Amino acid sequence: MPSEQAAARPPDRVYVWVWLPGATEPVVAGVLSRVGTIIVFRYAQSYQALDKAVPLYLPELPLGDAVILPEPPRTLAGCIHDGTPDSWGMRVVLERPGLSEIEGVDELSPFTYMVESASDRFGALDFQLSPTEYVPRLPSAPLEELLSAVERVDAGEPLSPELASAIIAGSSLGGARPKVSLRSGDRSLIAKFSSRTDQYAVVKAEGVAMNLARRVGLDAAPTSVEECAGKDVLLVERFDRTPLDGERKMTVSALTVLGLDLASEGHYATYHDLADAIRQRFTKADATLRELFERMVFNICIGNTDDHARNHAAFWDGGAEELSLTPAYDICPQMRSGGEASQAMAIRPGGGGKLSNLANCLAAAPIYHLTANEARALIDAQLHVIRTRWDAACEETRLTAADRRRMWGTMVLNPYCLEGYDPVDD
């Protein structure tokens, strides 16, 4: 449940708690406080005294006694911002009775969003009002009840106190679409729901894309499309959790890896800059570059142009100061009215670097440590699997015949993606 302390007045400081690698209980890591328009961080002495203490992320937050300011133009360290509510989560927090009277419905402070959102957030961090007592905010409710709450929030309708409490389960997750976190046995899941503004079957479209991603050989999060109260729900298995209840994995977004501010610099994120970071800081760099290349190719083939830097992430091990790519997630075909399209992140430097076609990927092959022949073989293999396994993926996802016709050749394998590229099997 949200903290009653926060309902009394906006907090002036918030304590960051962290699950250290292998731990099932969190420890306090430090404190966030305001200095003018920015939020600074300072490690707790008790945390630094721990034998297993690791930096929350480098180079942003090195261990030490100093107050750490975010790198301009950021107002908050990226690794901490990764764990804060995004647009959907902020909408959910605003449903909390009384908050609008405290701060104004459009003016909640970042600290209020931190302590009013659920504790089951991205990665291994959480936010508390106390440096000594950890009180988890982990509301639970049946999926049907969560679906009802999501639909009311999506429609702008008021919630009962019970539904307002239940829907907090979705407040700590990123992205703009309706979602909640939940557990099923030893599995930690994210449930994604349709929106009243959807112009196509978004839930099933993402389901079939993730299904095909695994079929082409990508390391992609396990998913399934289920039915709840007559509505489609996409269940996504969380990669930042383990089957061991209570353990969390330290994780950062690619935006944080690239050192960019979401609001002012997010559009500058590129695949080729991420490739540079992989060469310098990731384990198994060559294999990771190949995986990144294959994800770019698949996004283009499947029509996912929403491949921005917060839809890529890396595990942070803290101790060895190395990163490793997480499984792929949030791969969803996007509506388009014509042929030409651009990816959210440029594949290569220079003019045309964002173009959503396979010839662009082929031209960029050396950046990802691939020869032209190697790149072509990877591309052709994906095209073959998508064409031959499309029907099977649609059947497994229960995509209707009408939705299949709507997606195939427009979102999926739009002719523009093949412009200037000649597959071997054509």
Q: What is the pLDDT of residues 346-405, one digit of tens each?
A: 999 999 999 999 999 999 999 999 999 999 999 999 999 999 999 999 999 999 999 999
Supply the pLDDT for residue 103. 52
N-to-C CA span, the chain = 57
Bridge partners, residue 68, by sequence: 41
Q: What is the pLDDT of residues 204-220, one digit of tens each?
A: 999 999 999 999 999 99
Bridge partners, residue 141, by sequence: none
Stated length of the chain: 426
* pTM of this structure: 0.94
Distance of alpha carbon 192 from alpha carbon 177, whole angstroms:
7
Instruction: Give the mean model confidence (pLDDT) for residues 128-150.
Output: 92
User: For residue 138, what pLDDT band results from cuts at 50, 70 and 90?
Assistant: confident
Q: Which two tokens stand for residue 13?
A: 């400081």
Supply the pLDDT for residue 329. 98
Q: Determine the residue type at 390.
A: W
pLDDT of residue 104 exceeding 70: no
Instruction: Give the mean model confidence (pLDDT) for residues 130-140.
Output: 93
Q: Determine the residue type at 368.
A: Y
Q: Which two tokens stand for residue 160?
A: 């009962």
Q: What is the pLDDT of residues 180-199, one digit of tens each?
A: 999 888 889 999 999 988 99
pLDDT of residue 105 exceeding 70: no
pLDDT of residue 100 exceeding 70: no
**Percent of the chain scoring above 70 in pLDDT:** 95
Q: What is the pLDDT of residues 238-248, one digit of tens each?
A: 999 998 777 99
Instruction: Look at 4 and 297; give whichever has higher pLDDT.
Output: 297
Q: Determine the residue type at 334.
A: Q
Q: What is the pLDDT of residues 315-329, one digit of tens each?
A: 998 877 789 999 999
C-beta of residue 121 within 8 angstroms of C-beta of residue 10: no
Instruction: Give the mean model confidence (pLDDT) for residues 155-172.
Output: 84
User: For residue 2, what pLDDT band results from cuts at 50, 70 and 90?
Assistant: very low
Write down the mean pLDDT value for the chain: 92
Supply the pLDDT for residue 7. 46
